[in-house]
A and B are shown apart, each in its own frame.
Chain A
Amino acid sequence: QVQLVESGGGVVQPGRSLRLSCAASGFAFSTYGMHWVRQAPGMGLEWVAVIAYDGSNQFYADSVKGRFTISRDNSRNTLYLQMNSLRREDTAVYYCVKAPPGPNYYMDVWGPGTTVTVSS
Chain B
Amino acid sequence: QSALTQPASVSGSPGQSITISCTGSSSDVGGYDYVSWYQQIPGKVPKVMIYHVTKRPSGVSDRFSGSKSGNTASLTISGLQAEDEADYYCGSYTRRSTWLFGGGTKLTVL
Contacts and interface: CB of A to CB of B under 8 A. Distances in A.
Contacts of B100: 47
Given A104-B51, A105-B34, A47 B104 contact: no
Contacts of A57: 97
A45 B48 contact: no
A16 to B, nearest CB: 26
Nearest to B105: A44
Given A50-B99, A106-B52, A107-B36, A45 B45 contact: no
Contacts of B48: 106-108
Interface string B73-110: 00000000000000101010100111111111000000
A106 B89 contact: no
A46 interface: yes
B34 A45 contact: no
B51 A59 contact: no
A59 B98 contact: yes
B14 to A, nearest CB: 26
A112 interface: yes
B99 A44 contact: no
A9 interface: no
Given A44-B89, A46-B101, A47-B101, A62 B46 contact: no
A57 to B, nearest CB: 8
Contacts of B101: 37, 44-47
A32 interface: no
B98 to A, nearest CB: 5
A61 B98 contact: yes
A105 B57 CA distance: 13
Contacts of A110: 45-47
A111 B57 CA distance: 18
Contacts of A45: 38, 40, 46, 89, 91, 101, 104
Interface of A: 35, 37, 44-47, 50, 57, 59-63, 95, 100, 104-108, 110-113
